[in-house]
Structure 1
Amino acid sequence: MNKSINWKAAIIAGGVAGVVSGLVKLGWENVLPPRTPARNKTNPPQRLLEQFGIPATITHSTYTYSEQQLPWVSYMIHFGFSTSFAVFYTVAGRYVPFIRLGQGTLFGLGIWGAFHLGVMPAMGTVPAPKDQPAEEHVSEALGHIAWMWTNHIISDALYQQLTSKHKQ
């Protein structure tokens, strides 16, 4: 167990990794969409916020880019989730190296299972796992693996660079 950690470097490395991995996960979902267009009219981040009483006029707010309406509120939740878990992984992985097994891929798979098969169905944010299409499970499971592997690679490299005594 590593008891010495540079917290500032870990938070910066995790934050940067979380933004980049959030972009990777969005790209992944363009290649393998996890939900049908009908189910994506209100995506899980929007549904979660609505469950907390935030009106649809806010949760479905968009901005226009290249003539397309993009859900900025969903993106805030998406990147907040991504950066929070990336920072957690970067810090906790220094204390509990077990979570870094498989370069973050097992941790990513665990996050998918915990949230997409456990927490969100229990809250009614998404359907029960048995009622989710197989395509959703495949996209989300593989997407979480790619997402956390990206976090691992970027946060590790950046942390090493920020803490190196021989900075270039």
Structure 2
Amino acid sequence: MSFLSKRSLHLPAAIIAGTAAGVVSGLVKLGWENVLPPRTEERDATNPPQTLLQQFGVPAKVTHATYHYSGHELPWVSYVIHFGFSTTFAVLYQILGEKIPAIKKDAGTWFGLAIWVAFHLGIMPAMGTVPSAKEQPEEEHVSEALGHVIWMVTNDLVGDEVYRRLVAQARK
């Protein structure tokens, strides 16, 4: 068994498929967080995307900018970061998964957990964007770990289907 796939990569199809998957999985992750919120309301007053941007010098009036829909104030800047992260990793997953099939083991479950560990337990606490892993509530770990699995499985399912269709269409 070879570590690298012998299949050729259709890069434009992988980018389109990953982008489509990232948008859909970003919506799934937002829905998941409505069912099992990862943070308390107090910690969400300035959520991690807003905190990260403020750490880079973006003023709070920008990071907390909202739009109104159906009587709700919604944080559009947070959504830009959320969907940017989701699509970036979905495209990366689609491209790498076509060349390194082990990445897609168990429909991306392990890749999703690896992203959670890297960012929520490692990088963001090290940067001071979120509390250390020990200071995060158990509910946050459960929500984020399961949410990242569901997010990546969605990327796997949607990305594979869109990629398969695009490659088949290109071959006609």
Gaps of 5+ in 2: none
Distance in 2, matches of 1:14 and 1:143, equals: 18
Per the alignment, residue 45 of structure 1 pairs with 49
Q: Work out the number of aligned pairs and report it.
A: 168
Give % identity: 63
Residue 5 of structure 1 is aligned with which of 3, 9, 22? 9
Tell me how far apart the structure 1 counterparts of residues 87 and 75 of structure 2 sit (CA, whole Å): 18
> Distance in 2 between the 1:11 and 1:158 partners?
10
SS at match of 2:43: coil
Alpha-carbon distance, 1:2 to partner: 3.1
The SS at the match of 1:69 is: strand
**Which residue pairs with 2:74 in the alignment?**
70
Q: TM-score, normalised by structure 2?
A: 0.95
Residues 166 and 5 (structure 1), Cα distance of their counterparts in 2 relative to 1, 3 Å cut: closer
Amino acid in the other structure paired with 2:163: Y
Hey, what does 1:143 align to over in structure 2?
A: 147
Partner of 2:129: 125
Which runs of 5 or more structure 1 residues have no equivalent in the other structure?
none
Q: TM-score normalized by structure 1? A: 0.97
Paired residues of 1:2 and 1:94 also in contact (CA < 8 A): no
Contact 1:6–1:163, Cα closer than 8 Å, also in 2: yes
Distance in 1 (CA, whole Å) between partners of 2:156 and 2:117 is 19
Deviations 1:33-69 (A, max 9, x none): 0000000000000000000000000000000000100
Q: Which moved more, 1:93-102 or 1:20-29?
A: 93-102
- Structure 1 stretches of 4+ moved >3 Å: 165-168
For residue 33 of structure 1, the aligned residue among 32, 37, 43 is: 37
Worse-superposed segment, 17-26 or 91-100: 91-100
